[in-house]
Amino acid sequence: MSDAYEKRERCQALKFNGEPCTAPAVRNGHCIGHQGAENAEWRKAGGAATSNANRAAKLLPSRLQPIERALETVFVDLFHKSTGKDRDVREATALATVALAIGKMFQIGESEQRLRDLEESVAEWQKDAERDRSRWPA
C-alpha cells in the first residue's frame, strides 16, 4: 500500500465488537458510518434513490404520477379485500385489469419520454444543418 493511505487519519469510533474502526476519517475524526445524527437520515434512506420503484417512477411524466398512485391504491385495496386462496374469477380479473393499467401507464410515460428525446435531437440536428448552410452557401 502507498504511504499516503497508511498515514491517512482513521475513524476514532469503536465498532460494535469494541475494536477501533479502521475506515478513513472524512469529517470530525469519524468515517461516514460514524458521523452520528447528521448522517442518520442518509443511512435511513440507504439507496432509496436507486430503487426499482424510484427508477420506474422517473419514467412517468409528472401529470401521470397521480393517476398511477391512484391505480396502485386501488390495486392494493382490491388485493386486501380479496379472500386469498378462495379468490374468485371476478376478483382475479379486477386485479389483473388494474395491474395492466399500471403497466400501460409506464409504457405511455416511456414512449412520451422517447418522443421528447427524438424531437430534441431533430431540433438540434436542424439547428446544426441551418448553421452549416449559412457557413457554406451553395
* Amino acid type, 53: A
Residue 35 has phi, psi (to 5 degrees) of -70, -20
Model pTM score = 0.47
Q: Give the count of domains, the chain.
A: 2
- Which of 87-112 are b and which e, b meaning 16 or more Cβ less than 10 Å from the residue's Cβ? eeeeeeebbeebeeebeebeebbeee
| pLDDT, averaged across the chain | 79
Residue 118: domain span:
59-135
Three-state secondary-structure class, residue 15:
coil
Q: Quote the distance between the C-alpha of residue 107 and its chain's center.
A: 17
Same domain, 108 and 67: yes
53 belongs to a structural domain: no
Residue 12 has phi, psi (to 5 degrees) of -90, -10
5-59 confidence digits (pLDDT tens): 566 788 888 888 888 888 888 877 888 778 777 666 666 666 666 666 676 667 6
